[in-house]
Chain A
């Protein structure tokens, strides 16, 4: 399937092509640039799909190893971003499989999270916020894996339906259906937490 969404942005195409050329010519800074551009995206995706920071770190390392080894074979049929999302999703699928997600104890003071909460909130408000976040992460972990992937790509990574279809290599109708079902499952889980 030809990716027709992101790669049509000429600046991104040009940046991808330059990075790939530099990597092919053995410029070590090219991969550094790829890492600094996409590591946040890969780590965040892995964290939300795995539910564990420890797993997310391992997954991120492995994904970049795959990218490093596979970059020479990337032919530009999609944008680099779409390709990296695809590599990440496929790797997370094969590593996490259908096993139940290993949720770790919730630590609201995680230093690597950019907080959405107002820093001027009082401690009670902050506690409620942390509790809500913990409930949400647990509920998301219990959503079926295929729906969770679509939900994370849409609502957390903010990809368009067309981009998600390209990443997952499915039709837009399937993306629409997975997102709707994922939202419905998440809503039910949040209404009736175990």
Chain B
């Protein structure tokens, strides 16, 4: 009786000892009479072996000092998320699984949606005279914003496109 060959997934997991004892037994008995699968197992094993032989890199000693410096700056200037979340946590609003908590979340959503609609309506109104437009791509959210500046002052912000 001719047995189908083993999949790469099974061979690779067998190599790592990440199959059940029953599957391991089945694989071993298949390999006993299948040179093709033995060859594939060996080549997968070689790829794994060379990676394992790569020297382990250690961070440079100066890196620790740079991290400490950034930590002290970070302590002085908490991130935007922290600045928003911390007061809410202090008020115990975000930990309340109650209608009040849901109400606050709903209110925040309405404010956000309202701001988005305002941006869209401004965008439809066209360019504003006397100011300098500047396209800014928001990394992470794939949304592109148009910032209108007058000197160093930001006059307004338009959302001009959203990627996939």
Min C-beta distance of B125 to chain A, whole Å: 34
Partner of A114, one of B7, B56, B59: B56
Q: Decide: A94 and B82 in contact? CB cutoff 8 A.
A: no
Q: Which bracket fits the contact residues of A?
A: 35 or more
Q: Which bracket fits the contact residues of B?
A: 35 or more
Chain B, interface SS category: helix
Which B residues are CB-close (under 8 A) to A140? 51
Is A125 engaged at the interface, CB distance under 8 Å to the other chain? Answer: no
Which A residues are CB-close (under 8 A) to B48? 154-155, 183
Which A residues are CB-close (under 8 A) to B124? none
Q: Mark A148-174, 1 if CB is under 8 A from B, else 0.
A: 000110111010110000000000000
Q: Decide: A40 and B59 in contact? CB cutoff 8 A.
A: yes
Chain A, interface SS category: helix
Partner of B57, one of A44, A181, A183, A186: A44
Q: Decide: B70 and A65 in contact? CB cutoff 8 A.
A: yes
Stretch in B39-47, B104-112, B128-136 with 4+ CB within 8 Å of A: B39-47
Is A190 engaged at the interface, CB distance under 8 Å to the other chain? Answer: yes
Residue of A nearest to B45 (CB): A183
Q: Decide: A57 and B18 in contact? CB cutoff 8 A.
A: no
Q: Mark B36-75, 1 if CB is under 8 A from A, else 0.
A: 0000000110111011111111111001101100110010
Which A residues are CB-close (under 8 A) to B56? 40, 44, 113-114, 156
Which B residues are CB-close (under 8 A) to A176? 9, 12-13, 18
Is B157 engaged at the interface, CB distance under 8 Å to the other chain? Answer: no
Min C-beta distance of A97 to chain B, whole Å: 9
Which A residues are CB-close (under 8 A) to B18? 160-161, 176
State the CA gap A123–B134 with chains docked (Å): 57
Q: Decide: A110 and B78 in contact? CB cutoff 8 A.
A: no
Is A82 engaged at the interface, CB distance under 8 Å to the other chain? Answer: no
| Further contacts, 8 of them, CB under 8 A, given A56-B57, A60-B63 | A35-B64, A43-B59, A48-B57, A113-B58, A155-B52, A179-B13, A183-B47, A186-B51
Which residues of B pack against A, CB within 8 Å? 7-9, 11-13, 16, 18, 43-44, 46-48, 50-60, 63-64, 66-67, 70-71, 74, 78-79, 81-82, 139-140
Which residues of A pack against B, CB within 8 Å? 31, 35-36, 39-40, 42-44, 47-48, 53, 56-57, 60-61, 64-65, 68-69, 94, 110, 112-117, 132-133, 136-137, 140, 151-152, 154-156, 158, 160-161, 176-177, 179-181, 183-184, 186-187, 190
